[in-house]
Amino acid sequence: MPDGGLLLIENVGNLVCPAAFDLGEAHKVAILSVTEGEDKPLKYPDMFAAANVMLLNKVDLLPHLNFSVPLAIEYARRVNPHIRIILTSAVSDEGLEEWQEWIEAGMKRAAGQKERV
């Protein structure tokens, strides 16, 4: 990978295994879709405890679901009080700028740490 590159590794299927393996990543990101239910941080606490950020995704669907954003946030913070939470939607673009800024800030920090080594 070239200097300054970004590698995203996606785990599809469950929220158990990604927390257990160290892939040398700088950050773990948990993505919780509102279609899955707000209980997932309690059901899979290891992933949310290990994550630096949680994307609460598909928020454009909230008017059509029985999903409590405050409860999802409470559950996530119950297992990780410091987790950053960004509400996102690819349909409405909500939160995507904040997500991009978070990624860019992390890349700058990583580049700075590499220079000091």
DSSP structure class, residue 12? -
| Every domain of the chain and the residues it spans | 24-116
Return the number of other C-beta atoms located less than 10 Å from residue 75's C-beta. 20
Residues 6+ apart with CB under 8 A from 38: 67, 68, 69, 71, 72, 75
Tens of pLDDT, residue by residue over 47-76, are: 899 999 999 999 999 999 999 999 999 999
Q: Which residue has the higher pLDDT, 7 or 72?
A: 72
**Domain 24-116 carries which CATH code?**
3.40.50.300
Predicted structure pTM score: 0.87
